[in-house]
Structure 1
């Protein structure tokens, strides 16, 4: 972890535990205007973010391979992913590779120039651009917010029914 020095670790916000780390990963992606599904990591042990330097690191128990269905691409995430981030850009990225034809290509930079397109660049300056929508995961929070509204609606309906009975 060349980017993550002891000085950076000392200043950074650090989180441990899969659930909080997944949540914080989504928050920081939103903060830098990147799609929420860009880092679909599992069993995350630690996330750190030094806002001053922009250094971010994520550690997971084991490396994973994820398929982005909308673009039919396999991406491998190592046990440690590090980067320097700023709004609309992830640079000095380590621990991420994408499969192109038969070989795995390291990804060193990700950026969005337009809101609808995201570009992935390799250290050899080869790049590929895709629609941002391929990396957006629907938020799971939305159905949870709807349920209490439905309950209130049924309570209101029941209350109206009771009022109607009393009036008759």
Structure 2
């Protein structure tokens, strides 16, 4: 875990459970001004974030391959993804590969060139090769949770009053 030392783990915010980890991943991406669909992980077991150093780690049950449909690119996410996060930049990235032609290429850095939804994001490899894509290819529309219906809330309040009167 190169970046994730015992000291970093002790200082970091840590979360477990798939639903909470997915939510926290979106929060970290938003704080870094990165697109919310950049890490479409599944069955996440743990997420950690050390705000002091910017180190983030995500552990999932198994590796996944995701296709970003609008750009036609396959990206593989290992069981553990680590990085150092700054506003507009993810560096020292591990556990992520993109398919180029017939080979899988390790990604090491992602940099926003224009930090807007109509901007560009640059993906870099450890060898210095890079590709630029529109930020919009990595944005997932936010789905709002439906508000609780008034009837349900009223029923719950009446039931609570009835129990306390008994």
With normalisation by structure 2, the TM-score equals 0.86
Corresponding position of 1:40 = 40
Q: Distance in 2 between matches of 1:131 and 1:144?
A: 31
Structure number with higher helix proportion: 1
Alpha-carbon distance between aligned partners in 1 of 2:122 and 2:134, rounded to the nearest angstrom: 9
Q: CA RMSD in A?
A: 1.5
Which structure 2 residues correspond to residues 1-168 of structure 1 after superposition, within 5 A? 1-115=1-115, 116-141=119-144, 144=146
Q: Secondary structure at the match of 1:114?
A: coil
**What per-residue deviation string (whole Å, max 9, x for no partner) do you get for residues 80-134 of structure 1?**
0000010000000000000000000000000102121000000001000000000
SS of structure 1 residue aligned to 2:70? coil
Classify the secondary structure of the residue corresponding to 1:26. helix
Which runs of 4 or more aligned residues in structure 1 lie more than 4 Å from their structure 2 counterparts after TM superposition? none
Any gaps of 5 or more consecutive residues in structure 2?
A: 151-166
Q: Larger Rg: 1 or 2? A: 1
Structure 1 residue runs without a partner (length 5+): 152-168
CA distance in 1: counterparts of 2:15 and 2:33, whole angstroms: 21
How far off its partner does 1:140 sit?
A: 1.2
- Helix, strand or coil at the partner of 2:121: strand
Q: Distance in 2 between matches of 1:102 and 1:113?
A: 27
Output the TM-score relative to the length of structure 1.
0.85
